[in-house]
């Protein structure tokens, strides 16, 4: 069976800017796939290439085995939830949702029925006759979702769909989107710059930088085994150890990533197990974040960040000498430390 979406060495240039630069990627049917990266990394352009708003300058794109180059957006069986929703202001909520059906020539009664069902699915029953301006951000987001899904797309594209929502609502929508995807079983491709969102929702994540895919994998792989300094830094945060420092403290003589939450903060002279590595230093800064405390420790001329549960961190203060301890297995050798 062909993949839902296939990119073969795809490039898209805007003048001198290589927005997408040689991307090769397969996205399987039914997958919840996240494209993660900073702004300008090419993730949104990739999404637009799938939607058909952009055409590749080089390479080849397939959607369910069919060549996508030259096929206009209105002939593709994919639908998009836009970043700012792009709801039509001159139509009611029901008319917005039924737009795709109306274009296809579906009769009025069936359109209205399906729009009601779709609205109920996104928990907005009774909002049929409102205008988009009368809705809150979260409600607009749901309407945009219903408007895309009513067309039964084979692939749903979501461009930073939660970006405009406040934190609580975002967390709630994350769960709902995930549940919806499980229920519908269609392929979701999701663009975000929020690594937490990508890790918590996606089956697989592609990390983008400067138009290229830096790493693809399951969230746990990308987080636990970053292959490059960029991924180690962008997905979560990371201490970067030089080959010398790494070799001196239980690792290999290579650039190494060490996650702050893997590091324990203990009193000086605490005995260390053979599977653990340690370094002694002085606390330069303490940040209290409610559930965790974040320490910045200067040790042997480098700065290390450590995150510990807040109650464990309560014994220490700025200026204290401490011993930082971590399992040697938490040290991840980076293939690319540029």
Partner 1 sequence: MSQTVTAEGDGAFERLSDLFVARPKLLTFLLLLPPLLWIGIVYVGSLFALLLQSFYSLDDFSGLVVHEFTLSTYAQLFEEANLQIILRTVLMASFVTITCAIIAFPIAYYAARYARGWTKALFYLAVMMPLWSSYLVKIYAWKLILAKEGIITWLAQALHLTWPLNEILALPVIGGPSLSFSYIGTYLVFVYVWLPYMILPTQAALERVPVNYIEAAADLGADPRQTFWTVIFPLALPGIIAGSIFTFSLTLGDYIVPTIVGNSRLMIGQAVYTLQGTAGNIPLAAAFTVVPMVIMGFYLWIAKRMGAFDVL
Q: Does 14 bind partner 1 (CB under 8 A)?
A: no
- On whether the CB atoms of residues 68 and 104 are closer than 8 A, the answer is no
Kindly state the smallest distance separating residue 277's Cβ from partner 1, in Å. 51
Please select the residue that binds partner 1; options are 89, 185, 271, 319, rule is CB under 8 A: 89
Q: Does 84 bind partner 1 (CB under 8 A)?
A: yes
Kindly state the smallest distance separating residue 47's Cβ from partner 1, in Å. 11
The single residue listed with the structure tokens 């020539």 is 105
Q: Does 227 bind partner 1 (CB under 8 A)?
A: no
Name residues whose C-beta falls within 8 Å of residue 175's C-beta, 6 or more positions apart in sequence.
none
Please select the residue that binds partner 1; options are 14, 17, 103, 311, rule is CB under 8 A: 103
Going from the C-alpha of 171 to that of each of 177, 181, 301, the distances in angstroms are 10, 16, 40
Name residues whose C-beta falls within 8 Å of residue 15's C-beta, 6 or more positions apart in sequence.
none
Q: Which stretch binds partner 1 (CB under 8 A): 57-65, 145-153, 196-204, 232-240?
A: 145-153
- On whether the CB atoms of residues 313 and 293 are closer than 8 A, the answer is yes
What region, left, alpha or beta, does residue 269 occupy, with left being phi > 0 and alpha being psi -120 to 50 degrees? left
Q: Which is nearer to partner 1, 156 or 305 (CB)?
A: 156
Q: Which two tokens stand for residue 25?
A: 């990627």
Kindly state the smallest distance separating residue 98's Cβ from partner 1, in Å. 10
Kindly state the smallest distance separating residue 13's Cβ from partner 1, in Å. 19
Q: Does 88 bind partner 1 (CB under 8 A)?
A: yes
Q: Which is nearer to partner 1, 122 or 277 (CB)?
A: 122
Please select the residue that binds partner 1; options are 37, 42, 56, 100, rule is CB under 8 A: 100
Kindly state the smallest distance separating residue 51's Cβ from partner 1, in Å. 6
Q: Which is nearer to partner 1, 95 or 197 (CB)?
A: 95
Name residues whose C-beta falls within 8 Å of residue 91's C-beta, 6 or more positions apart in sequence.
99, 131, 132
- On whether the CB atoms of residues 212 and 243 are closer than 8 A, the answer is no
Kindly state the smallest distance separating residue 169's Cβ from partner 1, in Å. 22
d(CA 106, CA 236): 47
Q: Which is nearer to partner 1, 100 or 250 (CB)?
A: 100
Q: Per-residue x/- mask for partner 1, residues 290 to 309, rule CB under 8 A?
A: --------------------
d(CA 15, CA 125): 46
- On whether the CB atoms of residues 232 and 332 are closer than 8 A, the answer is yes
Instruction: Identify residues 33-72 at the interface with partner 1 (CB under 8 A).
Output: 51-53, 72
Helix (H) or strand (E) holding 200: helix 195-201
Please select the residue that binds partner 1; options are 7, 32, 33, 99, rule is CB under 8 A: 99
Total residues in contact with partner 1, by rule CB under 8 A: 23
Q: In what order do the strands lie in the sheet with 264-266?
A: 264-266, 321-327, 276-288, 292-299, 302-309
- On whether the CB atoms of residues 42 and 196 are closer than 8 A, the answer is no
Kindly state the smallest distance separating residue 96's Cβ from partner 1, in Å. 9
Q: Does 333 bind partner 1 (CB under 8 A)?
A: no
Q: Which two tokens stand for residue 179?
A: 């549940």
Q: Which two tokens stand for residue 168?
A: 């609580």
**What residues line the site for partner 1 (CB under 8 A)?**
51-53, 72-74, 78-80, 82, 84, 86, 88-90, 99-100, 102-104, 147-148, 151
């Amino acid at each position: 069976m062909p993949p839902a979406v296939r990119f073969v060495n795809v490039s898209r240039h805007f003048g001198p800017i290589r927005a997408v630069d040689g991307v090769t990627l397969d996205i399987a049917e039914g997958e919840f796939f996240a494209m993660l990266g900073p702004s300008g990394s090419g993730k949104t352009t990739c999404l637009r290439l799938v939607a058909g708003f952009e055409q590749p300058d080089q390479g080849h794109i397939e959607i369910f085995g069919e060549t996508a180059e030259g096929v206009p957006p209105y002939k593709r069986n994919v639908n998009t939830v836009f970043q700012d929703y792009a709801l039509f202001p001159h139509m009611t909520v029901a008319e917005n949702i039924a737009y795709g059906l109306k274009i296809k020539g579906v009769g009025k009664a069936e359109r209205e029925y399906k729009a009601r069902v779709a609205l109920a699915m996104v928990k907005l029953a009774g909002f049929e006759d409102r205008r988009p301006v009368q809705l809150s951000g979260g409600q607009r987001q749901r309407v945009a979702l219903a408007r895309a899904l009513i067309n039964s797309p084979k692939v749903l594209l979501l461009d930073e769909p939660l970006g405009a929502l406040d934190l609580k609502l975002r967390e709630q929508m994350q769960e709902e989107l995930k549940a919806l995807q499980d229920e519908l079983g269609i392929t979701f491709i999701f663009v975000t710059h929020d690594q937490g969102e990508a890790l918590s929702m996606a089956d697989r994540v592609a990390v983008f930088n400067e138009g290229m895919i830096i790493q693809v994998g399951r969230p746990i792989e990308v987080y636990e085994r970053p292959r490059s300094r960029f991924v180690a830094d962008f997905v979560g945060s990371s201490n970067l150890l030089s080959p010398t420092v790494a070799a001196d403290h239980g690792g290999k003589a290579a650039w190494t990533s060490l996650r702050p939450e893997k590091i324990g903060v203990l009193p000086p002279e605490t005995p260390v197990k053979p599977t653990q590595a340690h370094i002694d230093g002085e606390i330069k800064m303490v940040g209290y974040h409610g559930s965790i405390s974040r320490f910045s420790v200067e040790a042997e001329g480098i700065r290390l960040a450590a995150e510990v549960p807040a109650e464990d961190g309560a014994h220490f203060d700025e200026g204290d000498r401490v011993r930082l301890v971590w399992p040697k297995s938490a040290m991840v050798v980076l293939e690319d430390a540029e």
